[in-house]
A and B are shown apart, each in its own frame.
Chain A
Amino acid sequence: SAVISQKPSRDICQRGTSLTIQCQVDSQVTMMFWYRQQPGQSLTLIATANQGSEATYESGFVIDKFPISRPNLTFSTLTVSNMSPEDSSIYLCSVAEVSGANVLTFGAGSRLTVL
């Protein structure tokens, strides 16, 4: 399965600042997604990162708050903008395995704490 590297693994941020999370995959993948996992909660899909075009956002998530880039088939970034304490979460990059429909592999996640 694909190997996903995410960074930073964790960070402590000040209110009002922005942070960019990077996701690097060791092979070309068509489908790449960003999920959020709030403390003690499930995984919520933020958006699908589309290569060469704008990301597709889920209800409740907007581009101004969570801008996403996908310059090629192995790399994506998620920015959390103008952060507030409510943005304290784990953000996970995931990719759909070529071998099977809907089989997702996850990165290790980026744990953000906003003070």
Chain B
Amino acid sequence: GENVEQHPSTLSVQEGDSAVIKCTYSDSASNYFPWYKQELGKRPQLIIDIRSNVGEKKDQRIAVTLNKTAKHFSLHITETQPEDSAVYFCAAPTGSARQLTFGSGTQLTVLP
């Protein structure tokens, strides 16, 4: 099955700075890479995803990049705000039924 590794486990940035979270995956056949944000006490919610036919995708202040050769993908958040503080999970497909394997999570803290 798929193995997803995520770094760093914690990340603190000053408000307005950028944050980068990185993930690697093991299955070269994987073709879909989502990022979920989980605020304290809330459910995980999809914030951005990328499919293997593109190298980068942006949505306002967030972007995801994919390097299929190296089997890694990254989440970039620019101009961070206190409301960006949350746990972020990367994921990759596993199995034949559209399941996802999640990374270990990154606790992002944006300091005002």
Which B residues are CB-close (under 8 A) to A45? 94, 99-101
Which chain A residues in 69-115 approach chain B with CB under 8 Å?
A: 92, 96, 100-109
Choose among A31, A33, A44, A107 the residue that contacts B43 (Cβ–Cβ < 8 A): A107
| Chain B interfacial residues counted at CB < 8 A | 21
**Inter-subunit contact A96/B43 (CB<8 Å):** no
A105 to B94, CA, bound (A): 16
A92 to B103, CA, bound (A): 16
**Inter-subunit contact A42/B43 (CB<8 Å):** no
**Inter-subunit contact A48/B101 (CB<8 Å):** no
Choose among B34, B44, B49 the residue that contacts A43 (Cβ–Cβ < 8 A): B44
Given contacts A42-B89, A42-B103, A42-B105, contact A102 B44 (CB under 8 A): no
Choose among B42, B93, B95, B104 the residue that contacts A42 (Cβ–Cβ < 8 A): B104
Which chain A residues in 26-64 approach chain B with CB under 8 Å?
A: 31, 33, 41-45, 48, 56
Interface string of B5-25 (1 = CB under 8 A from A): 000000000000000000000
Chain A interface size, as a band, is 20 to 34
A45 to B42, CA, bound (A): 18
A92 to B44, CA, bound (A): 10
Which A residues are CB-close (under 8 A) to B99? 31, 33, 45, 48, 102
A42 to B36, CA, bound (A): 11
Which A residues are CB-close (under 8 A) to B43? 92, 106-109
Instruction: Identify the closest chain B residue to A106 (Cβ).
Output: B43
A36 to B: closest C-beta gap in Å = 11
A109 to B43, CA, bound (A): 7
**Inter-subunit contact A48/B97 (CB<8 Å):** yes
The winner among B34, B95, B98, B103 for most chain A CB atoms within 10 A is B98
Q: List 11 A-B contacts (CB under 8 A).
A: A31-B98, A41-B104, A42-B103, A43-B102, A45-B94, A45-B99, A45-B100, A48-B99, A101-B32, A102-B99, A105-B46
